[in-house]
Structure formats: C-alpha cells, structure tokens
A = this chain, B = another copy of it.
Amino acid sequence: MKRTSRDIRTAHRYEVLRQVIAASPASRQGLASATGLSLATVATLVGELLDLRMISEVGFEDSAGGRPRGLVAVNASGGALIGVDIAETYVHVELFDLALTVLARADEEMRPGESQPERVVGVVAAAIASVVARAGVAPDRVLGVGVSVPGQVDRDTGVAEYAPNLDWHDVPLLDLLAEHTPYPLHLDNPLRACVVAELWFGAARGHEDAVVVNLGTGVGAGLALGGGLHRGVSNSAGEWGHTTLVLNGRLCHCGNHGCVETYVGAPGIMQNLHELSPSSALLHPGNQTATIDALARAAAEHDPVALKTVQDTARYLGAGIADLINLLNPEVVVLSSWVASRLGEPLLDEVRRVVSRHALGRPLAATGIVLSPIATDPVCLGAATFALEGALRTVGQRQETVRGTAPARSRTAPPS
C-alpha cells in the first residue's frame, strides 16, 4: 500500500495550491515553511501551477535588504470547479472559482420516493448546466465536478455501492451522470467532503487530529488524522453512524440494532420526539426538514418538549462523541451538516455537558467541540476540492485516462 511517486507529487502539488488558496499572496519561501517541502520542490511545483494558470505572479514582497521575494496568488478566474451534494432530502450544486468562492448555486428539494438514481441524475445534470450558465463560465474552463453521495462509494469505479437512506445499491452514478454532463467527474461521500472543507476553510484548520461529525438524515464522522484525511483501506472510514451505542436497541436500516444513527439522525430525532410526545405539533410525519425546523424554532422559544427532545438527542449524541474522543483523542470535534446547523447552540451546549460526563479526563482536556463555521454547504465545498485534486492528478497524464471528456484540461495541461 505504499504511495507511488506520482501520488506523492500530486499530493505536494495539491498541498502547495491549497496553501496559496488559503493565504494569497504567498512567497515560495513562505510556502516551503508552511508545507514542510524544500524550497526547490516548491519552486518546481509553483512553476507547474503557473503554467496551468491556476496561480499567477503578483509582485514582490517588501524586503529589508536581500533579493526581493516574488509573490504568487491564486488566479481565481483560471478555472471553475463544481461541487454536488446529493442528500436524502435535497440536491445542492455550487460552482466555485479557483479561490473557492461560490459564483452560482442551485438547490433542489427531494421528496420521499423521488430518489431513484435516474431521477437524481437528471436533477443533478440540469443543476450543473444551470450553474455553469448562470455563472457565465465558459464550459471549457470547468476543471471538474466533485459529487458527494451518502454511504459507501467506490472512487475508482464511480459506483455508489450502498446508500441505505436512498435505498441505492451498486448504482454506477458517474457513468449515468457522464451521459448528461461533459465534465470530468469525481465521486466521494459527504463525510470526507466535510472533513476536507473543515481542514481548508473551517474549524479543523491547523489541527493534526480532527473529527467532523456529520448530522443529517444519516450521520457519520469524517476523520482528519495526522494532518490529513483518513480514508481507510477501502475509502469507507467514518461510518460512526453504524457503530453500536445501544446493543439490541433500535433497528437500523443497515440491519443492526442500536446504531448511533438511529438515535441522532434526523429520523432518529423524530423518533426521540415521538417517544416523548406522540401527538406533538412539532412532529411533521414524513417530513424531516419541517420537523427539525419546527424543533429548532420551538427550542429557541424555550418550548419544554422541544428542549427535552434536544436534551434526549444530546444524551445519545454526547455519548457517541465521547466514544470518538476516547478512541481518537482529537484536538477538535466539529458538528456539521444541516441538522447541526439548525439545532445549533442549544444542541451544542447539551452535547458539551454530556461529553464532559462521559469522556476520560486526559482526552477530554485536549478537545474542543464546536459548530462548523462554514456558512455555505460544506459538502459542496469539499466536493469541489476533490474535483480540484482530481484536476491536479491529471497534470501530465494522457487525456484518455481521465474519466469523461475534459476540454479545459487539454488547454491548460502542459504536454506530458
């Protein structure tokens, strides 16, 4: 499982570009010290990124004597990236410039029963065409599309192997999508997209070990360990939602009982509410979004049933997060995705209280628990960075090995 020298070179190229995006303008010396790479390596990689027009020279650093240092900055208009977040209740598509600023977005609601793969592919393809048109970006400048779909995915084949909440099994998603959209496509899942978004732009920046707890219809824990994304050996790490919290507890659609997800995913929270108050007006049967929204509003108004539901949910969630802290000893745990952002501070406060009772002293003292500070959809942002990583991987590769057609790349990539 050793990485090839090509992998390492791609990773270094990506790391340098990531630093330039995070802090433009930057000198080669500054990039070397931020990335730990040698100045010679950085100079070579900067040269490649300049050739690709992903970055540009923007002048010189003030210098008190000595040779002035050239500065580079991201060339925001040097290309566009698209991030697609396919969730159980919605599809979000965002188009970014190379500075990872959103230029256009399309949001589509998904109602129960509308999640057949062909239908979703149609919605996604139309949304991609729409954001490209609305951003006024020439199609040959779109470097790629990152697609996030929940559950277990095979990045190499582009197959969504198992997405229980969508009831998808072995859906060849990228092949289906390639029939409708001309851009290079890259598949991954929201856990990994969220981690990368937090590592680049959010609460995990600068941390070696971070856990991003994703609370939506499904739940999971994206892992950043040792400063980078932990994928596991077959890219399926992070399925914390399917770890046992209550042996022989609630039945989960994965076939087990007592999984974390059955207590703290949106349907699990609805069940918590139902067990507390079966006839509550907050409960919108069959509508997760409306129920979570109603809960959030009522909790803000100190409604006792809403507050108790948040407390009950936090009791499960806090125990599960304490498990992550005891097992992984991270510096920060970030609560992300739509359920976390809607329930917000009231949920966070209760979770912190529960975790402080459950976690062991030493790892507890080293950990902060925060809400994601990313204002837009972190999954789209992370998915777009996967597309960027994919584009950098193909630098110098022959075009036919790239999935889909890549009109932009044939112009921007140097001859191999």
Contact = CB atoms under 8 A, between A and B. Distances in A.
A268 to B, nearest CB: 13
A342 interface: no
Contacts of A226: 225-226, 228, 230
A254 interface: yes
Contact of A1 (B207, B221, B320, B329): B207
A319 B258 CA distance: 11
A362 B207 CA distance: 29
A2 interface: yes
A13 to B, nearest CB: 18
Nearest to A210: B233
B244 A245 contact: yes
B234 A363 contact: yes
Contacts of A242: 326, 360
Interface in A210-264: 221, 223, 225-228, 230-240, 242-247, 249, 254-256, 258
A274 to B, nearest CB: 19
Contacts of A25: none
B365 A328 contact: no
A36 interface: yes
B362 A329 contact: no
A236 B256 CA distance: 30
Task: Classify chain A's interface size.
Answer: 35 or more
Nearest to A232: B329
A198 interface: no
Contacts of A249: 247
B247 A2 contact: no
Nearest to A238: B327
A358 interface: yes
A316 B231 CA distance: 26
A115 interface: no
Contacts of A228: 226
Interface in A300-330: 316, 319-320, 322-323, 326-330
Contacts of A206: 1
Contacts of A200: none
A244 B323 contact: yes
A361 interface: yes
Interface string A329-371: 1110000000000000000000000000110111101110000
Nearest to A207: B1
A162 interface: yes
A232 B2 contact: no
Listed residue (A221, A327, A361) with the most chain B CB atoms within 10 angstroms of its CB:
A327
A152 interface: yes
Contacts of A327: 221, 223, 237-240, 243, 327
Nearest to A169: B361
A319 B316 CA distance: 18
> Which are the 10 A-B pairs with shortest beta-carbon distances?
A232-B329, A243-B323, A237-B329, A239-B326, A234-B366, A152-B362, A1-B208, A236-B362, A246-B247, A233-B331
26 contacts: A1-B206, A152-B361, A152-B363, A161-B362, A162-B362, A208-B233, A225-B230, A232-B329, A233-B329, A233-B331, A234-B362, A236-B329, A236-B363, A237-B328, A238-B329, A239-B327, A239-B360, A240-B327, A242-B360, A243-B323, A243-B326, A244-B319, A244-B322, A244-B358, A254-B360, A327-B327
